[in-house]
């Protein structure tokens, strides 16, 4: 039996997932957590084969924290189960070491199949994302812009788009405020805009946030 922990903000998601896998022959939801701080506690006290994790989970501020979990608990596979853009976040998540990225618009049947495959050591990523990555060289400059962004730059851009100030982002990501300013300047350059309003609009147009 594959032991699974679901980490998500919303009770309705916990209820739906737990109900769906209640009588599953291979998968057992053995833990449910509602914030990132609880993830480590669960992994320390229970044997978890697969962690289903939403990138927007309360208390989770960076993909680097996910990377730390993978380093500290190498026997646990992680599947990102999120409503965020696969095209932007899946490649970065896979690069960080997670085993799969499933968008919340997918059926729970797809999640179940992915859990089994990930437990077998496979990497799960949407075919559309794979094709898009394979076509990077053939795409226009504007279509490739977001692919030049690092994990950290995507995170900073996400918080800027949420209306957060540099000092707030610095506090969330535990970085120096000057470092955030540097990332902001890089984003302006890479997305070829000159101000924050245009930066946020460009990010939304390219579905980065």
Q: What is the pLDDT of residues 31-79, one digit of tens each?
A: 999 999 999 999 999 999 999 999 999 999 888 899 999 999 999 999 9
Sheet harboring 27-33: ordered strands across?
27-33, 2-7, 50-53, 77-82, 100-103
CB 79 within 8 A of CB 101: yes
Which residues are registered as beta bridge partners of 181?
A: none
| Cα(92)–Cα(175) distance, integer angstroms | 20
Q: What is the pLDDT of residues 187-205, one digit of tens each?
A: 988 888 889 998 888 888 7
Other residues' Cβ atoms within 10 Å of the Cβ of residue 121: 8
| Cα(94)–Cα(85) distance, integer angstroms | 14
| Cα(169)–Cα(181) distance, integer angstroms | 10
């Amino acid at each position: 039996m594959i032991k699974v922990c679901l980490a998500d903000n919303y009770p309705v998601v916990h209820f739906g997932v737990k109900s769906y896998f209640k009588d599953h022959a291979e998968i057992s939801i053995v833990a449910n957590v509602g914030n990132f701080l609880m993830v480590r506690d669960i992994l320390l006290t229970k044997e978890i084969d697969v962690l289903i994790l939403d990138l927007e989970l309360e208390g989770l501020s960076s993909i680097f924290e996910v990377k730390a979990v993978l380093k500290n608990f190498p026997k646990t596979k992680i599947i990102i189960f999120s409503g965020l853009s696969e095209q932007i976040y899946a490649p970065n998540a896979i690069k960080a070491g997670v085993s799969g990225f499933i968008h919340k618009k997918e059926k729970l049947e797809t999640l179940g199949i992915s859990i089994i495959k990930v437990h077998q050591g496979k990497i799960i990523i949407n075919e559309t994302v794979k094709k898009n990555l394979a076509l990077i060289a053939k795409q226009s400059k504007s279509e490739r812009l977001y692919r030049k962004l690092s994990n950290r730059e995507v995170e900073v851009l996400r918080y800027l788009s949420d209306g957060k100030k540099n000092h707030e982002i610095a506090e969330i990501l535990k970085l120096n405020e000057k470092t955030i300013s540097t990332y902001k300047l890089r984003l302006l350059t890479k997305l070829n805009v000159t101000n924050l309003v245009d930066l946020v609009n460009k990010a939304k147009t390219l579905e980065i946030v």
